[in-house]
Amino acid sequence: MDKKAILYFITCIVDFAEKYKTSIKEAFLYLKKYKGLQFLMENYEIEHTLSKEDTLEALSHITHKNGGHLV
């Protein structure tokens, strides 16, 4: 994994935490548990070209589909 991808994942976690008014650690654990991070890793090539809003919407959808409750 390259440095750009790692920075992208960190940015997504921080943005997710801000959107749902939670800590960065809680956002990371939530995204990990409900497969949001897995989604980002598997779809990095496409997701990093999309807007922040589109990525956060996709993360919300994926995590909700996998049992998460933040919507």
Over the chain (71 residues), the average pLDDT of each successive run of 10 is 92 97 97 97 93 96 94 59
**pLDDT score of 71:** 59
First and final C-alpha spacing in the chain:
29
Q: What does residue 65 show for φ and ψ, rounded to 5 degrees?
A: -60, -30
Burial class of residue 61 (count of CB atoms within 10 Å of its CB; 0-12, 13-18, 19+): middle
Task: Identify the DSSP state of 6.
Answer: H
Residue 42 to residues 6, 21, 32: CA-CA distances in angstroms? 13, 26, 13
**pLDDT score of 70:** 78
